[in-house]
Structure 1
């Protein structure tokens, strides 16, 4: 470990906390669609509900500026945080793997519980799996990390691209099944709405099938490659000192990333609207432009916020974001709890009834609530409730061993 890395591990980087808080807020802007509308509406805006006027504008806002962008930021920060955590232990002469593996184990269990009990879109299980996979790469040079990340991103795109190229070879039954995933018939939509508005048991039966798919098939085909790549990018950013670079470098980089990222996202929008979100064009190929463009936009957001922080602008806002970021795990689960109570039958049962523009009103309200909650919680406690529990559980094997001795 060089002197630069050792010096960085001694201190907590407030910039990472602010960025993490920014990412948690942005994630809600997309997740609320999965909580409040049938599953297909997340990837296909024409699958359910009104898609004109203010609702169309609300979808465009979320797609262009939020979809996949904040998940990418969060994954990059997870990679950087993993590296910092391990460096701190190793700087003290400790073996970092047992503690890291324990943290990922408990995060995995929390992800399983979150996915099956609350919401199928859980990311924690995937992060735990990828966190274990990228651990051995933490000592690689930044250039090697970036090259590997690019290769992994290419692999993550292969299933969709191969499927797109071979669509004409699929039999009619398979095509019909895929088409119903993209644009479900009325019976499928009605069954999903009734399930989520119904009892917890009905919700569980609906949710558990999707959660199993997300944490197995989708994980292996797509998420493990993409998320691991993003974590490696986060490690590389930390190693080259992006979080402490000069302001001019950050601003110029942000503008360059935005230009490239929004160009790809914009072309993807044109492509999908040109083909009227048709199954044969948009189901597999149409989303790939945003999948890649979102990474550049995410990098743009990171560099822009770091530039603003280094200029000392909006200090109060970044302090609030840092508090929220220090409680990222608690706030992420809190979002799910609140949305479950709002949209599912265990609460108000608003699933399928809230239009896209109305979802934004809820998002803004929850953003304010979580900023205030994090601020006042950390005035009374040193860590968020789930962060405290995660830390205690991660130490548990060593504590038990110490008592036994």
Structure 2
């Protein structure tokens, strides 16, 4: 008889959810490359000076329309589904699900804090852990109320932006001022561009260390200014709803739902994403901090397209041939934490001055193919890893700390 205090075995895992995590990692990597490479921070004249500017501009537009924000939303959705699975399985076994959940979050919080402070300011693990701590507060809500609250949270940035415009206040202003004071202490000019500071000739460990002292503050100032917290929580709640309904386990019963989500997600999401791109890059006069029109189109593009992507994979998965095509992503998703952290290390080694220093010197025409190659290597590595091991290395550590049990890493 299985000990209820032990984690769920690999045989019980949903290959579909793992494949979705693997798919999400591709989008997250593509999104993060624009930050790792310094492209997101380069001034426009510097971008246009590259010989690949024409194709760079096209790729950048496609990334904004089809990728930006959609895959972080997918990870948020999967986080909510994961919480529902923990609730159901532990309640069935007569154990306290919240004890396990909070332990998992505490370990994730520590990993995220280390990732944020020591490696990369673009970390999402810490944010997910912090928001995750309040997720159990909503577990008693009805399905209807879950969806209503999720919609309110996803569109709430419109109200927050209105307050910012009316009162000329930025949520992250205190953190930004603190970051600037740290930069001044470290001799970094107030107008220094991140793209040049970390990637310039001669940039090394000192520059990286100086940036790490303030980078996380700039990051969380942006998270507050862009109202990321309610957006993430909203997707958590949609995931909690989907997990309760066990939609991922009953694909055949939800074909019509997936077809509707695919249809309306694309019809609403793509035009909204194009409008979002236009208002962000061509209408700089719209109200600060980001622009209320941009905020509206962001909400009506990111969530619909995220749900459309999930629906398309689920519809394919329901067919035997489609399942075969996407199943290769499952090992990548089974060690999503390990692969996410590895993407950071690889990005630093390729683009930062402490590594090869490609940052700010190449555009999307170069770094996107590099990213795809790295991703495919990770997929291949993940397949090889699970021939011999039960868990990914970071997942193994995470599970052992969560359950307080010695778990066999090597397969027998």
Tell me how far 1:191 sits from its aligned partner: 6.1
Structure 1: how far apart are the matches of 2:99 and 2:57? 49
- TM-score calculated relative to the size of structure 2: 0.82
Q: Does the C-alpha gap of structure 1 residues 87 and 340 become closer, same or farther in structure 2, counting only changes over 3 Å?
A: same
Q: Does the C-alpha gap of structure 1 residues 273 and 364 become closer, same or farther in structure 2, counting only changes over 3 Å?
A: same
For 1:105-156, what per-residue CA distance to the aligned partner results, in whole angstroms no more than 9, with x for missing partners? 1111111111111110100001101111112322432211111112222333
- Conserved? CA contact 1:19–1:322, under 8 Å: yes
- Conserved? CA contact 1:35–1:343, under 8 Å: yes
Q: Does the C-alpha gap of structure 1 residues 21 and 191 become closer, same or farther in structure 2, counting only changes over 3 Å?
A: closer
Q: Does the C-alpha gap of structure 1 residues 283 and 131 become closer, same or farther in structure 2, counting only changes over 3 Å?
A: closer
Q: Does the C-alpha gap of structure 1 residues 68 and 48 become closer, same or farther in structure 2, counting only changes over 3 Å?
A: farther
Question: Which residue of 204, 207, 211 maps to 1:202?
Answer: 207
The aligned residue for residue 53 of structure 1 is 54
Q: Does the C-alpha gap of structure 1 residues 242 and 256 become closer, same or farther in structure 2, counting only changes over 3 Å?
A: farther
Question: Which residue of 391, 397, 410 maps to 1:383?
Answer: 391
How many residues matched?
373
Structure 1: how far apart are the matches of 2:288 and 2:134? 34
Q: Does the C-alpha gap of structure 1 residues 46 and 295 become closer, same or farther in structure 2, counting only changes over 3 Å?
A: farther
The aligned residue for residue 325 of structure 1 is 333
- Conserved? CA contact 2:108–2:126, under 8 Å: yes
Which structure carries more helix by proportion?
1
Q: Does the C-alpha gap of structure 1 residues 216 and 390 become closer, same or farther in structure 2, counting only changes over 3 Å?
A: farther
- Conserved? CA contact 2:77–2:239, under 8 Å: yes
The aligned residue for residue 365 of structure 1 is 373
Listed as ranges, the matches of 1:241-390 within 5 Å are 241-243=246-248, 244-246=250-252, 247-272=255-280, 275=283, 277-278=284-285, 283-285=290-292, 287-288=294-295, 289-390=297-398
Structure 2: how far apart are the matches of 1:287 and 1:299? 20
Listed as ranges, the matches of 1:226-241 within 5 Å are 226-241=231-246
Structure 1: how far apart are the matches of 2:245 and 2:100? 26
Tell me how far 1:261 sits from its aligned partner: 1.2
Q: Does the C-alpha gap of structure 1 residues 164 and 292 become closer, same or farther in structure 2, counting only changes over 3 Å?
A: farther
Structure 2: how far apart are the matches of 1:48 and 1:82? 45
Tell me how far 1:224 sits from its aligned partner: 2.4
For 1:36-73, what per-residue CA distance to the aligned partner results, in whole angstroms no more than 9, with x for missing partners? 116545xxx84852295211101011111100000000
Q: Does the C-alpha gap of structure 1 residues 272 and 344 become closer, same or farther in structure 2, counting only changes over 3 Å?
A: closer
Q: Does the C-alpha gap of structure 1 residues 220 and 272 become closer, same or farther in structure 2, counting only changes over 3 Å?
A: closer
Q: Which sits farther off after the overlay, 144-153 or 240-249?
A: 240-249
Q: Please list every run of 5 or more consecutive structure 2 residues that lacks an aligned counterpart in the other structure.
A: 1-10, 181-188, 407-412
- Conserved? CA contact 2:266–2:308, under 8 Å: yes
CA-based RMSD of the aligned residues comes to: 3.0
SS in 2 for 1:94: coil
SS in 2 for 1:188: coil
Structure 1: how far apart are the matches of 2:293 and 2:364? 21
Tell me how far 1:292 sits from its aligned partner: 3.5
Q: Please list every run of 5 or more consecutive structure 1 residues that lacks an aligned counterpart in the other structure.
A: 1-9, 181-185, 400-405
Tell me how far 1:11 sits from its aligned partner: 4.2
Q: Which sits farther off after the overlay, 339-348 or 203-212?
A: 203-212
Q: Which sits farther off after the overlay, 288-297 or 225-234?
A: 288-297
Structure 2: how far apart are the matches of 1:242 and 1:373? 30
Tell me how far 1:239 sits from its aligned partner: 2.3
Tell me how far 1:13 sits from its aligned partner: 2.1
Structure 2: how far apart are the matches of 1:132 and 1:206? 29
- Conserved? CA contact 1:196–1:344, under 8 Å: yes
The aligned residue for residue 148 of structure 1 is 149
Q: Does the C-alpha gap of structure 1 residues 95 and 331 become closer, same or farther in structure 2, counting only changes over 3 Å?
A: same
Structure 1: how far apart are the matches of 2:270 and 2:132? 29
> Does residue 193 of structure 1 match 2:200?
no
